[in-house]
Amino acid sequence: MLEAKNLMVFYENMLALNNISIACPENSIVGIFGANSAGKSTLMYALSGIMLDIRKKEKMAGGERITLSGDILFKDQNINDMEPSRRARAGIVLCPERRRLFKESSVLENLRIGGYLATRAQARQTLEYVMTIFPALEKLRHRLGGFLSGGEQQMVAIGRALMAQPKVLLLDEPLMGLSPLMQSALMKATRSIQRETKISVIVSEQYARPVFPIVDYAYILENGSAVMEGTKEELMDNPDVKSAYFGVS
Ligand code: ATP
């Protein structure tokens, strides 16, 4: 459904993504694992098209040159030049790193902002769904974004992305800074969302452990290169993966 083929991204002379090819088939959850600076966010920006905006801004400001090559395909169509807003409308929705909620707006307002691409009926229905999947948000409807815990903020961030009616949801490091309990709850919720709505999910994280139980397939990035890939079972059976990403040997 969403694919990157031979993707290369340079920030000026620095190679951030080195010939990356990944595929997220319909109805699946794909994990992207890698340490700090491995290139996870760069990949998410390339898939969502935000990289085109970043590149434009840098160019206008006379800043560093960002070079992109390779292909992004959505439903087998090349979308290299498709603006991020059009990609979102087509169903590629990014839930960015660090959540980026509107801190001065309530939970409800934050969620409704996400629904700008939806019809009124869709927005109403999805809002109800978000409250079912994250019941903790029900009593926080009127709480300001800035007064939520990290976990609650992440629920709102995922809920807001769902309001945009995604076909593929891109979750960039959704678990950063959260307790193990919250991490596990969020990943279970993500699995339920995928099963119930049939949307596909690409989720990036530094640590594979909390995400692994829910992925169908995963890629491991190191310094911008995909060094390993496989189904959950294949990766679990690999001793290198075990010691590097699970701390067991
Ligand atoms: P993190 O876990 O820290 O978010 P990441 O895996 O998401 O890491 P990226 O943010 O994609 O990694 O960064 C990949 C590399 O590209 C890093 O070396 C980073 O410093 C560099 N980089 C990212 N954005 C820019 C930019 N706008 N200009 C220059 N270099 C950048």
Rounded CA separation 164/114 (Å): 5
Pocket probe mutation, ligand 1, options 7, 12, 14, 42, max atoms within 8 Å of Cβ: 42
pLDDT band at 70 (very low <50, low <70, confident <90, very high): very high
* Residue of the CA atom closest to atom 19 of ligand 1: 37
Ligand 1 pocket, Cβ-based, cut-off 6 angstroms? 11, 14, 16, 34, 36-42, 64, 97, 206
Rounded CA separation 120/97 (Å): 28
Alpha helices, H only, 134-247: 150-163, 180-197, 232-236, 239-246
Looking from the CA of residue 54, the nearest atom of ligand 1 is 27
Q: Who's near 215: CB < 8 A, 6+ residues apart? A: 29, 30, 31, 203, 232
List, for residues 30-48, the tens digit of each pLDDT value: 999 999 899 999 999 999 9
Q: What separation in Å is there between the alpha carbon of 206 and the centre of ligand 1? A: 13
List, for residues 108-164, the tens digit of each pLDDT value: 999 999 888 889 999 999 999 999 999 999 999 999 999 999 999 999 999 999 999
Predicted pLDDT at 241 = 75
pLDDT at 244 over 80: no
Rounded CA separation 235/248 (Å): 13
Q: What separation in Å is there between the alpha carbon of 222 and the centre of ligand 1? A: 12
Pocket probe mutation, ligand 1, options 7, 9, 11, max atoms within 8 Å of Cβ: 11
Rounded CA separation 170/192 (Å): 16
Predicted pLDDT at 65 = 87
The dotted CATH code for 2-91+166-246 is 3.40.50.300
Question: Is residue 46 a contact partner of residue 7, using CB atoms and an 8 Å limit?
Answer: yes
Structure tokens at 177: 């800074």
CA 120 to chain centre: 25
Q: How many CA atoms lie within 13 A of 176 on its CB side?
A: 19
Rounded CA separation 208/247 (Å): 10
What is the average per-residue pLDDT within 213-222?
Answer: 95
* Residue of the CA atom closest to atom 8 of ligand 1: 37
